[in-house]
Amino acid sequence: MKRFIIIIIVAVVVIAVVLFFVLRPKKVVEVVVVPEIKVGLVTDVGKVDDKTFNQFAHEGMMRAAEEFGFEAKYIETLQPTDYDKNIQTFAEEGFDMIVTVGFMITDATYKMAGQYPDIKFAGVDQFYAEPLDNTMGLLFAEDQSGFVAGALAAMMSETGVIGIVCGMEIPPVIKFRKGYENGARYIDPGLKVLGVYIDSFVAPDRGKAAAEAMIADGADVIFGAGGPTGSGGIVAAMEKGVYGIGVDQDEYYTTMGGGPAPNLLTSAMKRVDNAVYSAIKAFAEDTFKGGHYMNNASNEGIGYAPFHDAADRVSKDVKARLDETLEKLADGSLETGVKL
């Protein structure tokens, strides 16, 4: 009898344990599904391999996409009348962020940002008089870029005369010119700087003629700061056997077609790739803010291109002084003195 009772007790305990594990509340495991993020790039007229702003913007987007795991696509603009349509294509396809390239697409970007407030927009070289919460204009410190170019020109000049061929007299170009002048005089206060504004960015013949006149007046370094107009000045420098300095992108690959160009010292570059990467990074980290983002020496937003074929003409001392100048601009111990 006693044995029977023990068996019954054991059976009850076993059943109780089984029921406990079977009937106890289940722990709910919440699976968080991260939605796929899509970023699109709309170029200015041109292609993503054109070695200019379009290509640099694309490279910046792809670097961010790889790092943060985004889906990234681009649309190459064939003509300015396609700006609105191209941006809207990405918007209607549910893209989360759209990057547009160049000041020419500013109005279309701002318009579409107003129509699609839930999409973030970043515009290269775009200033918005009244920024929206979802627009980030990516601007550049042209005065710093010009200052570095002027410092190099002063160190390389043998005649004590240098020149700059500018495009239209608008704030970014004025900053380039004043920065160039101040950078040159930072190295050599007695240096003579010739300069001219030309009321078009697409007049290489006029830019070339202006540079030829400066060279005739003794200039042995020409800085072309005005799109194709400035590039005309660089071409004149190459033909006359004096030094040239490009602007915005590496003109060794654009204006000079990849060389040879032994007299092209460098180009005062806007690091569009870094600017686009930083804008997308801000979006990814939820720190995107509407307004304007200034790209300067402190955040590698400006710099200078490789010396390429002119490398053997730029001494180690000149390069060291140039890098020191850039570093001082970056840490704030040196200012360009340019005020607009």
In order of start, what are the domains of the chain with their CATH numbers? 38-140+273-299 (3.40.50.2300), 142-269+307-331 (3.40.50.2300)
The one-character DSSP state at 134 is: T
Q: What is the pLDDT of residue 170?
A: 85
Q: What is the pLDDT of residue 46?
A: 85
The one-character DSSP state at 15 is: H
Range of lowest pLDDT (121-125, 167-171, 326-330): 167-171
Q: What is the pLDDT of residue 202?
A: 83
- pLDDT higher than threshold 60 for residue 32: no
Question: How many Å apart are CA 234 and CA 299, to the nearest integer?
Answer: 28
Contact yes or no for 305/259 (Cβ under 8 A): no
Average pLDDT over residues 62-76: 95
Query: Which residues is 245 bridged to in the sheet?
Result: 223, 266
Given pLDDT bands bounded at 50, 70 and 90, which one contains residue 35? Answer: low
Given pLDDT bands bounded at 50, 70 and 90, which one contains residue 166? Answer: very high
H and E: helices and strands count for the chain = 10, 12
Q: What is the pLDDT of residue 26?
A: 36
Average pLDDT over residues 162-169: 95
Give the count of beta carbons closer than 10 Å to the beta carbon of residue 59: 17
pTM score above 0.85: no
From residue 204, how far is each of 236, 274, 321, 329 by CA, in Å? Answer: 10, 29, 32, 32
Q: Which residues contact 148 (CB under 8 A, 6 or more apart)?
A: 183, 268, 302, 303, 304, 322, 325, 326, 329
- pLDDT higher than threshold 80 for residue 314: yes
Q: What is the pLDDT of residue 140?
A: 95
- pLDDT higher than threshold 70 for residue 213: yes
Q: What is the pLDDT of residue 25?
A: 41
**How many CA within 13 A on the CB side of residue 241?**
1
Overall residue count recorded for the chain in this entry: 340
256-269 CB burial, b ≥16 within 10 A, e <16: beeeebebbbbbbb
Residue 15 burial by Cβ neighbours in a 10 Å radius (0-12, 13-18, 19+): exposed
Average pLDDT over residues 4-23: 46
Residue 220 has phi, psi (to 5 degrees) of -120, 10
Given pLDDT bands bounded at 50, 70 and 90, which one contains residue 316? Answer: very high
Given pLDDT bands bounded at 50, 70 and 90, which one contains residue 18? Answer: very low
Range of lowest pLDDT (11-15, 223-227, 264-268, 299-303): 11-15
- pLDDT higher than threshold 80 for residue 254: yes
Given pLDDT bands bounded at 50, 70 and 90, which one contains residue 53? Answer: confident
Average pLDDT over residues 30-40: 62
Average pLDDT over residues 266-277: 95
Range of lowest pLDDT (112-116, 200-204, 285-289): 200-204
Q: What is the pLDDT of residue 273?
A: 93
Give the residue, 110 or 171, on which the prediction is more confident: 110
Range of lowest pLDDT (23-37, 87-101, 126-140): 23-37
Average pLDDT over residues 74-78: 96
